Chains A and B, each alone.
Chain A
Amino acid sequence: MNCAEAAPLLHAHFDSELDLVSSMAVEGHLESCVACAGANRRLGLLRAEILGAGFGDSAEPVLERIRAVILPPGSEPAKARQSWWRGPWVLVPVAAALLFSVAIPRWEKSAGRDGRELVDSHLRSLVGEHLVDVPSSDRHTVKPWFQGKVDFAPPVPDLTADGFELVGGRLDVIDGRKTPALAYRRRNHVINVWIVPGGAEAVDPVFTELDGFHLARWSQGGMAWTAVSDVNAGELRVFVEKLRQPTAASPR
């Protein structure tokens, strides 16, 4: 493959849109051609710049407002019942309650909720080099990275001001399901946080201990959160508290 053949394929190759054979041909060319390799690197630099160029504000308040308008409050327990809820509509919360009673135990059982799988995952993240897939202390880099990898947008709180540095994000497989993980650092300790949709009802944190690791689980904003770390229980409590503050997910 020469430059004239490779040039039209560079973008498609960069975007992982090529079939295996063409992709290998382009890679072969990139190894031997300085100009095309430079062009390819430029695409990477450009992408990094674009990913860092978010609007600097959080979409969450907007989404909450929209949600309140279009989805029945039954799916969000924090909202009070509204006056137009009459007649057959009262059946909706009943249905929702039934749904919760089925969904919550299921959610608790799934996603390695006994903690063992999460502690193992935590340990795996510490050995070897795979603490993060996207190393960045900028939530505006980490958050978009999850797009297209999982079918929801995990919140990425920034706790730098509270002494918990965001190290980056990573994709774990928990219970056979792709699960976004965030890694934070407190001095030399790593705190891993996993976020999955579920537990529509807000649940206060429950702290447990397993093999000397501290675990915290809670649920808020339609997401089920779990944090695992070897920091002491007190510090994990502070971390969880900071994480749960509504300001944590908003821009800083």
Chain B
Amino acid sequence: MLSEGTSAQVDAARARLNGWSSDAGAASGGSYVYKGRNRALDQRTDDFERTIWPHAAAAYSFARWMVRNPHDAEDIAQESLVKALRSLHTRCGASPRPWLLAIVRNTALNFLTRGRSPMETEWSETADRSPDAAPDPERGLIDRQNRDRVRAAIGRLQPEFREALVLRELEGMPYKEIGYVLGIPIGTVMSRLSRARHLLADEILGRAEGGAA
């Protein structure tokens, strides 16, 4: 049986053979470092898979509402998850979902300011082209028309209202977490949410009598 030290040396030698030694050397040199780094990598992947990956669907969905085009949303979700994996150590006790969605939001905003597919463009026509035939064609059609109508109305909201609304209604986030994701105080979360709901309700439910809601 190999002693701990010997097995570390074997690993280091194997690593050098495979061209990894320069990496290890850059970190701070020596065989022990390489082994530690590898273990840390596994540990980080484990952590990521356990804490962050369960929210990957939320990341994609949020990106979807921010950029509308499914392909861009996929790119943003992927880029965000890669960033999350790399910077897992910076999470420091923040809840995983808001932490991840804050990354998604930054990634999406960067993407949007690069000038492609601005948020104000109409929803991509292909967004809902996936095979979507309901078993009952008539009901399916009505459902779908209604869904399209509501989605389009959400899409017409200004981005700052839309993101607050999506995080609250579709992600079910508490105000505090929404504030974290958007980087705004809770009072601002409340006013944006209230404004977003007024606008949307007027559009899809019709104007309320007496201007309530």
Contacts and interface: CB of A to CB of B under 8 A. Distances in A.
Interface of A: 10-12, 15, 17, 35-36, 38-40, 42-43, 45-47, 49-59, 62-63, 65-67, 69-72, 75, 86-88, 91-92, 95, 138, 140, 144, 147-149, 151-153, 160-161, 197, 250-252
Contacts of A161: 135
Query: By DSSP majority rule, is chain A's interface helix, strand, loop, or mixed?
Result: helix
Interface in B62-114: 64, 70, 74, 77-78, 81-82, 85
B56 A51 contact: no
Interface string B120-158: 000000011011111100000001101100110010000
B95 to A, nearest CB: 10
Query: By DSSP majority rule, is chain B's interface helix, strand, loop, or mixed?
Result: helix
B212 A15 contact: no
Contacts of B209: 38
B151 A147 contact: no
Contact of A46 (B11, B78, B201): B201
Contacts of B42: 92, 95
Interface residues of B, number: 63
Interface of B: 11, 14-15, 17-18, 20, 38, 42, 45, 48-49, 53-54, 56-58, 60-61, 64, 70, 74, 77-78, 81-82, 85, 127-128, 130-135, 143-144, 146-147, 150-151, 154, 165, 168-175, 190, 193-194, 197, 200-201, 204-205, 208-210, 212-213
A100 to B, nearest CB: 13
A45 B74 CA distance: 31
A15 B175 contact: yes
B172 A148 contact: yes
14 contacts: A15-B168, A36-B212, A39-B213, A42-B212, A42-B213, A51-B170, A52-B147, A52-B150, A57-B70, A67-B56, A70-B81, A71-B53, A75-B45, A138-B143
A40 B168 CA distance: 16
B212 A39 contact: yes
**Most chain A CB within a 10 A radius of its CB, from B54, B57, B70, B193:** B57
